[in-house]
Amino acid sequence: MKTASKLALIIIAVLSFMLPLNAATYYINPVDGDDLKKGLSKENAIKSLERAGMLKLLPGDKLLLAGGMTHEGSLVLKDISGTENNPVIVSAYYNQGENAHIDAAGYRNGILLQNCSNIVVKNILITANGGGVKEEKRQDMRCGILVAPTRKGNYENIVLKNIAIKDVFFEDPGFNRGKDEVRSANGTQNYGWGIRFINYVDGALIDGVKIESCRVSNVAHTGIKFTARNRSIKNVKIYNNNVFETGGPGIQMSGVTGAHVNNNKVNYSGHEGDSRKWSRGSGLWTWSCTDVIIENNSFRNANGPGDSAGCHIDFNCTNVIVQYNLSENNAGGFCEILGNNHNCAYRYNVSINDGHRVKNKNGAFQEGKIFWLSGFVGKDRKRNGPFNSYFYNNTIYVKNDIVAKVAVDKASEGVLIANNIFYIEGESKAVLGDQYKPEKEGESRVENIVFKNNLFLAPGNWPDEVIIHDDEPLFGNPGFVNPGGKEIEDYISGNTDLIKDKGIVIQKIPGDNIGLFIGLNPKYDILGNEIKGLPDIGAIEMDKN
């Protein structure tokens, strides 16, 4: 056989593997479609999302919604499985140059993926502004997209890309929530959510999720949320998304193992712009999660009378690393690590004017704090930990009209605080942490403390009343380019004598045999500058050329 013929056969074999010969493309057109047709061409499109949900989609099949048109209803896909190399694709066809629009008002979900694997959903706009649902139940919800198994099995490789979700509410405009609803732990009423993954099924595993380049805005509660029993959602990637004006948190993960949250912009979580919103929430928070890296994100303007930090680590987590992030103007604060957390870290972040909330002012029931270690592990439970908390090479700026507040629970065990810049222009004070019952005052039982080599603008930046203190503090002005600015670059330092090569190499906390699961000493700073020799003080390395 000639070489050219062999090559042709190889190419045909590869193409056959990549694109099944029997793969079909189905079209949906809400104006010109007909549900009595097969939908296998634009001219013979089906009409409704309900009919589309009845299709038996196979590996390599495509389901395309007419772009520039509104598809009313809910797209429900059950038991749909592509393969890793030939996923089922749900997208739009661009007869008018715009994404397809699903209006799910009055339906529980814009898109429901139930017991699905190897599926890609992209190029869709989803709205769902009120309308309740038939057979409404207590604590019902409406989601832009819901992914949830109902039986045992592995559900793999679910990709959501270039999706816009906005205006998602269960209740109709004008509904007013009770004044105490915002004080409940996560809300007790009916809400609208952006993207939700839920796995409560014993023996079910969601393995491999990617949410990329999506935009979630103006929803009643959380923008992107994962909820799993027994850490049964794993290998999650959340990349390059914009999440803003969510009534609850921007991004939240419970029961997730192995997640990378990278290069997202979260703004105005806990937003108050609609009476149907919960109006409380951190930019991002984790609970009962393992092996999570949160990096290169911005968390701005979190609002609420409680919680509402830029990014916080709720209890029962292990190996959650918060690094290279910008945290700005978040009411609840910057660093928050709760109880029974093990080997978690904040490093190489910039915090600007975080923790400005004042307890008992405008309904606030928690103080805002720039730094908080809390042993809280649930209401009426004995405080426990956190254990081996690492906090180093962060830059914290607080303007002069904010009182910088710090709380350290005496149940904490294993703490490292080093190489940070605390640029606090005004007053500082110690406060009791607030989680139902404040931590009681008393002598510190905190063991295994490494607290040294931090730069403070002035004595008193770290309050005397806090139960742990810097053994070898540094004092002085780091010479920021633009103190008070809102961007990372505003906090480049100019004072070589105070900053350059003045950091210490980070070692494991005494009694900790683990350290951080990705290593203690990174190669780069928050701006991507290489760390050469000894680290500098703060989140940004000075030019060492």
**Overall size of the chain counted in residues:** 545
- Alpha helices (runs of H) in 400-522, residue ranges in sequence order: 496-499
Average pLDDT over every residue of 484-509: 97
Contact of 365 with 399, CB cutoff 8 Å: no
Q: Which pLDDT belongs to residue 98?
A: 84
pLDDT band at residue 20 under the 50/70/90 scheme: low
pLDDT above 60: residue 49 = yes
Contact of 465 with 429, CB cutoff 8 Å: yes
pLDDT above 60: residue 2 = no
Contact of 541 with 489, CB cutoff 8 Å: no
Look-up: residue for tokens 């989803």?
A: 126
Q: How many CA atoms lie within 13 A of 510 on its CB side?
A: 6
pLDDT, tens only, 414-465: 999 999 999 999 999 999 887 766 666 545 568 899 999 999 999 999 999 9
pLDDT, greater one: 212 or 135: 212
Q: Which pLDDT belongs to residue 22?
A: 83
Q: Which pLDDT belongs to residue 31?
A: 96
CB neighbours (10 Å) of residue 465? Answer: 11
- Tell me the β-bridge partners of 337: 313, 373
pLDDT, greater one: 149 or 5: 149
Q: Which pLDDT belongs to residue 136?
A: 80
pLDDT above 90: residue 224 = yes
Query: Which helix or strand (DSSP H or E) is residue 3 part of?
Result: helix 3-18
Rounded distance, CA 499 to CA 497, Å?
6
The model's pTM is 0.94
Q: Which pLDDT belongs to residue 380?
A: 86
Of 107, 116, 204, 96, which is closest to residue 160 (Cα–Cα)? Answer: 116
What's the whole-number average pLDDT of the chain? 93
pLDDT above 60: residue 237 = yes
